[in-house]
Amino acid sequence: MLPVHDGTGPQRRASIQWSAAMIVECPHCGANYPVDEKEFAGASKLKGQCKQCHSSFVINAPAELPQLPAEPTVALAVIEGPARGQVFRLSKARTILGRSGADVVLRDPEVSRKHCAIEVHGSTATLSDLGTTNGTFVSAKRIQSCELEHLSKFRIGATTLLFTVTDNKPGESEPPPTLVVRSRRS
C-alpha cells in the first residue's frame, strides 16, 4: 500500500524534525490512534489501516509541521474536548496544565486556571490535581495523584488527554503498537 498524493498539499520539505504523535480517528469504528508525523515523510496524505476493524482509510497530514528536535518525546494529545487534535510536547520536568497562565493552556471553561501538574521522570510521569473544584479523573475515578505511562488517559473538565512517550533514538523507534501506517519507503 502506498501513500496517496493529491498534488494539492504542501510541498515536500527538505527536513522535518517533528516526530511527535498526532491523533487519528478511524472513520469506520471511531478508534483513536497516535500516529507519528514522520511517517508522512513530507507527503500530504497517508493510507492507514485500522487494527481494530481492519478498514483502510486516508490520513491527512496536519497543515503545519512544527520544527522540533528529534529527541525522546513525551507528549499530551487532546483526544476529546475543545482543543481536540492538539498535541503538547512536555519539555519541562514539571508542566502545569490549565485554562490560563499555565504551561499547557486549554481553552476549556470547565478547566481551572491552574488545574493539574505533570512531573515527568523517564518514560513515566506523575499527574497531580492542584486542588481543583472540578477535579482530575483517570478511568472515571477522581484522583489527587496518579502515575501515567505510555497511552495513559486522563480527563480535566471536558478535555480528555492521552499521555504518549516516543523513543526517537536511531534504530530503536517502533511504530505505535495499535496502528499500521505505511510510509513511502519502497
Nearer to Zn ion, 52 or 124 (CB): 52
C-beta of residue 29 within 8 angstroms of C-beta of residue 50: yes
State in angstroms the smallest separation of the CB of 1 from Zn ion.
16
- Using CB under 5 A, which residues numbered 98 to 137 contact Zn ion? none
C-beta of residue 46 within 8 angstroms of C-beta of residue 85: no
- Using CB under 5 A, which residues numbered 26 to 85 contact Zn ion? 26, 28-29, 31, 50, 52-53
Nearer to Zn ion, 24 or 83 (CB): 24
Nearer to Zn ion, 80 or 103 (CB): 80
Nearer to Zn ion, 3 or 48 (CB): 48
Coil, strand or helix at 38: helix
* Segment lying near Zn ion (by CB under 5 A), choices 18-26, 37-45, 115-123, 148-156: 18-26
State in angstroms the smallest separation of the CB of 89 from Zn ion.
27
In the structure grid, which three cell numbers stand for residue 130, read together? 492542584
State in angstroms the smallest separation of the CB of 30 from Zn ion.
7
In the structure grid, which three cell numbers stand for residue 165, read together? 512517550
- In order, the DSSP letters of 110-150 are TS-SS-EEEEEETTEEEEEE-S-SS-EEETTEEESEEEE-T
Coil, strand or helix at 31: coil
Instruction: Give the whole-angstrom CA distance, residue 88 versus residue 127.
Output: 15
Coil, strand or helix at 39: helix
* Segment lying near Zn ion (by CB under 5 A), choices 8-16, 20-28, 112-120, 160-168: 20-28
State in angstroms the smallest separation of the CB of 181 from Zn ion.
13
Number of residues that bind Zn ion (CB under 5 A): 7
Distances 135 to 49, 71, 97, 110 between C-alpha atoms, Å: 36, 32, 13, 10
Nearer to Zn ion, 49 or 168 (CB): 49
Nearer to Zn ion, 50 or 75 (CB): 50
Contact positions vs Zn ion (CB under 5 A): 26, 28-29, 31, 50, 52-53
